[in-house]
Chains A and B, each alone.
Chain A
């Protein structure tokens, strides 16, 4: 009798063991697959960066070889200093930084205030107005270029920083994004803050903004990147030396009289220009990921 029970339980143990081995193999396979996929994707994303960096370190003659090399035969650090002096990178940097910072700050203020109004305040025509704003998102940005150009030139803003900053201060997308985020903040917190003696603005500052910080940081990054990367609009309205932005500055700085571009130096400049954005992303990444726990609210 006891024998039977024993063999039975051994059988079961074996089964369990087999199942767990099967599962283990499957899990390992799945993990391998996932990592392989991620690796391929990462390579695709990283390759252009790699190419930019090795190109920036090559001699012009090496760069022009029919069969490209995957590592510079002679590392030319000099390209970087050359890039800096030749393209007046310092000024371009300052211009872009100025436009980027000012437009980001103003844009954040506008976005926060309008998102707050749409999420929390009650006023007549709120839904209609918000619908109208959303509708403008359906129009492609290129359509605005001409009308904005006419407006800007009518206002006499050509070749000013104002022309680079003002037309893009209001982003319906950011307002929408933040409004959705604000609306997820439970109503009770607002009521509690009222009981605790805050005004609307103080509530916004003390409670809503801290809770929506990850979204605000994302908006900051996107806005900064937008300013950094903008190309067509600055070229149209403010492409003079005093207001030139980095993307336009790089475009022709390394082309000699014969129309030959010194690509390695240009690449060095591009690498320099990309670095700040890359650092911003690296630094703020953890804030983007950081979810704000909402468990102060029950039920």
Chain B
């Protein structure tokens, strides 16, 4: 089932009426989620990603705009009639019910023609439980389960009624690091197996990039960029997106474009065409810096962190807006750690220019 968001906007009235400042949580969101895909809504806290999710679920009403599931306009439909599954950040299992009762609960609430006979409900519950591998815990209470197991129960409960759309609100944030890795692969597997269109919200870019078919990067209620994770990473539309994606984060420096050359301080690092002379922000991915004996960019070497396959060169440059510049290089490339200075060449496809006022990307051609 594809999900279409049309000019979706949510404005929260200000709590203090005299101050009169409303908060625009989501601003004019347009997006068509293709059928059967896993979409990651990504952004820092307060960017409106959870609000978007809650609007899709119907728990919050949009101020304006429309939501379609397939061709049905569900904007005015209440949550209980929307046929969605939602996994909450804190799982929200019913503490007084066993795992089995928790999973059965959505089925027991089906009305009219959707009502199932008892036997079929049980079968469906066990099927969902098997999918998330908790079918041996059916008679336990949530309090007797670990965090990861509770999480699975929550997913099973969301899946059991075969929702049209599955929504996950920060599903991994309460799990420890190891379980998080395992669970996110599990979510990916379950999503592939069921083919249910899934939207999940996270502030962890690594999490979003690793399992999503597409990611939506949001900031202050405004969608910044939508695309396949690798595309967004390789081709960020603005400085915010460039900074938000990637670990270690992108190196941001101040620079100028003059006579077809990009300058960082005194160093002319790249020849380009198609850009007027101006001051710019420069973003260079850590893997976009290549040490070279006669490299154009001269930095002060702080330290060299060897991590086996890769090494991390930590250095400084006066133009840098980050405290340090970090370059990830193949460990085969030898750097003289005793030296004060390290020189780099830049890889043009990892080297982005941004307008200093708007922070929008400036496209250029390499000369």
Contact = CB atoms under 8 A, between A and B. Distances in A.
Given A194-B59, A198-B109, A189 B92 contact: yes
A195 interface: yes
A195 B143 contact: no
Contacts of A199: 80
A196 B157 contact: yes
A197 B110 contact: yes
B109 A298 contact: no
Contacts of B143: 293-296
Contacts of B81: 197
Contacts of A197: 80-81, 106, 109-111, 161
A298 B147 contact: yes
Given A195-B79, A195-B84, A297 B96 contact: no
B96 A210 contact: yes
B86 interface: yes
Given A191-B59, A191-B88, A197-B109, A297 B95 contact: yes
A178 B157 CA distance: 29
Interface string A176-208: 000000000010110111111111001000110
A292 interface: yes
A156 interface: no
Instruction: Determine chain B's interface SS by DSSP, over half rule.
Output: loop
Contacts of A210: 96
A279 to B, nearest CB: 26
B105 interface: yes
A48 interface: no
A188 B90 contact: yes
A140 interface: no
Interface in A44-79: none
Interface in B136-183: 141-143, 147, 150, 157-158, 161, 173-174
Interface string B85-109: 1101111111110000010011001
A160 B157 CA distance: 52
B57 interface: yes
Nearest to A195: B86
Q: On chain A, which size bracket covers the interface?
A: 20 to 34
A211 interface: yes
B174 A192 contact: no
Nearest to B147: A298
A299 interface: yes
Contact of A296 (B58, B78, B94): B94
Nearest to A191: B59
A207 B142 CA distance: 14
Contacts of A294: 95, 143
Contacts of B157: 196
A33 B182 CA distance: 54
Nearest to B142: A296
B142 A195 contact: no
A9 B172 CA distance: 49
Given A195-B57, A195-B85, A293-B141, A298 B174 contact: yes
A127 B91 CA distance: 30
A207 B150 contact: no
A198 to B, nearest CB: 5
Nearest to A185: B95
B109 A196 contact: yes
A24 B218 CA distance: 62
A197 B92 CA distance: 15
Max count, chain B CB within 10 A of own CB: residue among A188, A199, A210, A298: A298
Contacts of B93: 192, 296-297
Contact of A293 (B86, B95, B150): B95
Contacts of A298: 90-91, 147, 150, 174
A295 B142 contact: yes
A193 B59 CA distance: 11
A292 B95 CA distance: 8
A134 to B, nearest CB: 24
Contacts of A188: 88-90, 92
A34 to B, nearest CB: 30
A186 B110 CA distance: 24
Contacts of A206: 105
A292 B94 CA distance: 11
User: 3 smallest A-B Cβ distances: which pairs?
Assistant: A296-B93, A296-B142, A296-B95
Interface of A: 186, 188-189, 191-199, 202, 206-207, 210-211, 292-299
8 contacts: A189-B92, A191-B86, A192-B94, A194-B79, A195-B57, A195-B84, A196-B80, A297-B92
Interface of B: 57-59, 78-81, 84-86, 88-96, 102, 105-106, 109-111, 141-143, 147, 150, 157-158, 161, 173-174
Given A191-B59, A298-B150, 13 more contacts: A186-B92, A188-B89, A193-B105, A195-B158, A197-B110, A197-B111, A198-B80, A210-B96, A211-B95, A293-B143, A294-B95, A296-B93, A297-B92
